[in-house]
Amino acid sequence: MQNSSYLPSKMKFLIVKFICTLYLSLSGITAVGAIAATPEPHALSVRYPEAYVRFIPAAEKQKPHWLVVSPEQGILLLDENLQPRTTLNVKAELLDSRANAASSDMVFATIVEPGHVPTLFSVDVASAKISELMRLLVPGFQVENLCLQRDVSDNLYVYLLDERGIAEHWLILDRHGKALARHMRNLPIPPNSKACSVDDASASLYIAEEGIGIWHYGASAESAPGRHIIDLRAPFGGLPGGTESVVTLPGGLATVSLEDKTLRSYLFDGKKITHGKTMELSALEEPERISGWYNSATANAEIWVYDDADGKHYSLSLPWTAQQKKSPASSIVTVKAEVQTAPMSRFGDAADDPAIWIHSKKPQRSLVLGTNKKQGLMVYDLEGREVQSIPSGNVNNVDVRYGLRLGKKLVDVAIASLRDDNSLAIYAIDRRNGKVTEAGKIPTTMEDIYGFCMYQQATDDKKSFGDIYAIANDKSGEFQQFLITASGEAIEGKLVRTFHVESQPEGCVANDRTRELFVGEEDVAVWTIGADPDDGTQWREVIRAGDVVVDDIEGVAIYHGQQQDYLVISSQGNDSYVVLDAVAPYKVRGNFRIDLNAEKNIDGVSETDGLEVTHHNLGKRFSEGLLVVQDGHKVMPETPQNFKYVSWKHIREALNLEP
């Protein structure tokens, strides 16, 4: 079937007009109930027809101003009487703006011609100075539209729309106002998308698709590329023929449709869409472009509609009672990764769970082991470089313990859950150089092995090593605990205990000091139970999934502090990590997220599965220990998944934890 996007424009218009007319006549939908409006052309339109305009509200010791971007008359800053204070002889089109987080200036993005160059400028209203901050590389496509985005850490980004169905996402200013040009990702969007607008507070990106409707995406570079409907053309929604423009307002958005010459508004709380007020614009011939801002003094949305028929801007006020809801993420502190590992060899859900092996004599030569579910066990140094790749198969979770007598050698042991045959894959680690070698398998009776962790009984003698246990779980909720022993050169496992949770678990960790096991039941809670084989099957609740730990509950790990042990939990549902005391009553110490490190070109972290933490001094950068997490969505640039390293010192300082 021929794609309607490629039909001649006149034929498309006739088809759309027929469908809309038929739908309206059958459903009885009319514009009754809309607010009648008689928009007046603004005086700016006489002097600057076809221009892009932004209003700059009055501030302390500063009167209101206007920013004008014109393909014919350049870039201008106008005072409240519309008199030019500054004019740049730069031809440009398209416009979006934000307050400059690093100063009292405003910044704006536009496309400079000739050359079609995406360019960022700053405006110092007090001195009437417009300065070019940076230019992006000229894209290999015609930019249909652009929109700015500011994240919770005050970094500034721009989206560039390609009508073929891609939105290029670029980091352009860091939180300190430093100009950058870092390509974050290419976001798939509908072909023939005409406009975009970002609500920074809720990290919402709205896309207007020509002839179809309005879509909602997560604006963060770490967001998954899924979309949600705001409104569609009839008969699937309330738009008579789609829309080509959209503007965000506190707690919602507005658009204008050419077919019925109506301004529509929507309230969106992140989950539910409510249709707001509408305004008839029958006095306009071709209402095509919309911009606006919220006037808190009047509780109105001040809307500008551009009429393509006469090249004028018409102003109107729309009563607006919606309030901007504070983003839940804004109450979560942020830290940055110091190191990232080499990416997996292919895209898809590959990286899953890390473990940290500590070199007993030279901690700075410690290693990170990470599972690759498509390949096997990966080994990295503390700079993130891959030093080994062991093709064991579909290994899911991995853990490490120390001091197993294997023949005449004392080795350390890593074990991973192997989903190919529901077994435990065994690895011997050379204590001198960290070389990892496959050392056999331990069979289980599980039908769908999943998570895994290890436990080692503490001893009073620091020179001796206690018994080692392997604890695997199944998607059914079953746990099997094995005593790990060596017989000559072979490593064996003896089943010593089974126990259950009610639904699917995965992450688990043992506190060897207190002989406790902590388990994450993904949709329910974190539980604890004795880690020794004779400790029975009675669970005690640590923390439930809810507003603090948002399911899925994934990785769990223990940090052994000088004064306090902490439990670290991957709260996958809101891309954060929860730290709480590892002893009852399990006081929550706070939540943190891992934000992008622009200086080191390391992206933030989202959709974390497994994690591991150590308190050992691994050198200057990780003098108080190291947290390693799986990054489920790697961007800047987009590559397969990897692991990120975070200094525990930064986490301790961000959450005011005891050492």
Task: Provide Rg for the chain, Cα atoms.
Answer: 29
Averaged pLDDT of the chain: 91
Q: Report the percentage of the chain scoring pLDDT > 70.
A: 93
Domain boundary among 301, 329, 357: 329
Q: Which domain holds residue 283?
A: 4-49+147-329
Integer Cα distance of 574 and 555 in angstroms: 14
Is 345 found in the same domain as 290? Answer: no
Output the six-digit token pair for 211. Answer: 């002839």
The number of CA neighbours under 13 Å toward the Cβ of 575 is 21
Does some domain include residue 142? no
Integer Cα distance of 173 and 189 in angstroms: 24
Does some domain include residue 209? yes
Is 464 found in the same domain as 439? Answer: yes
Q: Do residues 279 and 260 make contact, with C-beta atoms less than 8 angstroms apart?
A: no
> Parallel, antiparallel, or unpaired: how do β-strands 35-36 and 273-280 relate?
parallel
Does some domain include residue 68? no
Domain boundary among 299, 329, 359: 329
Give me the CATH number covering residue 436: 2.120.10.30
Does some domain include residue 54? no
The number of CA neighbours under 13 Å toward the Cβ of 536 is 5
Integer Cα distance of 501 and 617 in angstroms: 36
Q: Do residues 635 and 218 make contact, with C-beta atoms less than 8 angstroms apart?
A: no
pLDDT single digits (tens) 591-643: 999 999 999 999 999 999 999 999 999 999 999 999 999 999 999 999 999 99
Confidence of residue 327 (pLDDT cuts 50, 70, 90): low
pLDDT single digits (tens) 131-153: 999 999 999 999 999 999 999 88
Distance of CA 404 to the CA centre of its chain: 41
Confidence of residue 7 (pLDDT cuts 50, 70, 90): very low
Burial class of residue 411 (count of CB atoms within 10 Å of its CB; 0-12, 13-18, 19+) = buried
Burial class of residue 6 (count of CB atoms within 10 Å of its CB; 0-12, 13-18, 19+) = exposed
| 351-357 β-sheet, strand order | 351-357, 367-372, 376-380, 386-390
pLDDT single digits (tens) 218-243: 999 999 888 999 999 999 999 998 89
Give one DSSP letter per residue of 153-183, joined into a string: T--EEEEEEETTTEEEEEEEE-TT--EEEEE
Does some domain include residue 279? yes
Integer Cα distance of 596 and 605 in angstroms: 8
Is 610 found in the same domain as 516? Answer: yes
Is 394 found in the same domain as 320? Answer: no
> Is it the case that residue 126 has pLDDT exceeding 70?
yes
Does some domain include residue 219? yes
Is 170 found in the same domain as 309? Answer: yes
> Is it the case that residue 9 has pLDDT exceeding 60?
no
Q: What average pLDDT does range 1-19 have in this prediction?
A: 41
Is 293 found in the same domain as 389? Answer: no
Is 387 found in the same domain as 307? Answer: no
Is 371 found in the same domain as 297? Answer: no
Is 275 found in the same domain as 299? Answer: yes
End-to-end CA, the chain: 66
pLDDT single digits (tens) 456-504: 999 888 778 999 999 999 999 999 999 999 998 899 999 999 999 999 9
Is 507 found in the same domain as 593? Answer: yes
Q: Is 11 helix (H, G, I), strand (E, B) or coil?
A: helix
Integer Cα distance of 11 and 152 in angstroms: 45
Integer Cα distance of 159 and 150 in angstroms: 11
DSSP 338: S
Confidence of residue 577 (pLDDT cuts 50, 70, 90): very high
Is 304 found in the same domain as 340? Answer: no
Output the six-digit token pair for 31. Answer: 């514009």
pLDDT single digits (tens) 406-433: 988 999 999 999 999 999 999 999 999 9
Output the six-digit token pair for 85. Answer: 């204070």
How many angstroms separate the Cα of 522 from the Cα of each of 192, 312, 517, 553? Answer: 40, 56, 16, 4
Confidence of residue 6 (pLDDT cuts 50, 70, 90): very low
Integer Cα distance of 639 and 637 in angstroms: 6
Burial class of residue 391 (count of CB atoms within 10 Å of its CB; 0-12, 13-18, 19+) = exposed
DSSP 602: B
Q: What local confidence, expressed as pLDDT, does residue 61 receive? A: 80
How many angstroms separate the Cα of 630 from the Cα of each of 86, 445, 608, 651, 654? Answer: 50, 28, 5, 17, 21
Q: What local confidence, expressed as pLDDT, does residue 3 receive? A: 40
Is 388 found in the same domain as 249? Answer: no
Q: Do residues 266 and 247 make contact, with C-beta atoms less than 8 angstroms apart?
A: no
Residue type, position 592, single letter: F
Does some domain include residue 69? no
Does some domain include residue 244? yes
Closest C-alpha to 206, from 228, 173, 232: 228
| 40-41 β-sheet, strand order | 40-41, 312-319, 300-307, 287-295
The count of residues in the chain is 659
Give one DSSP letter per residue of 499-520, joined into a string: EE-SS-EEEEEEETTTTEEEEE
Domain boundary among 306, 329, 352: 329
Find the range with the poorest average confidence among 15-24, 149-158, 193-202, 308-317.
15-24
Number of independent structural domains in the chain: 2
Q: List phi, psi (to 5°) of 655.
A: -105, 5
pLDDT single digits (tens) 543-575: 999 999 999 999 999 999 999 999 999 999 999
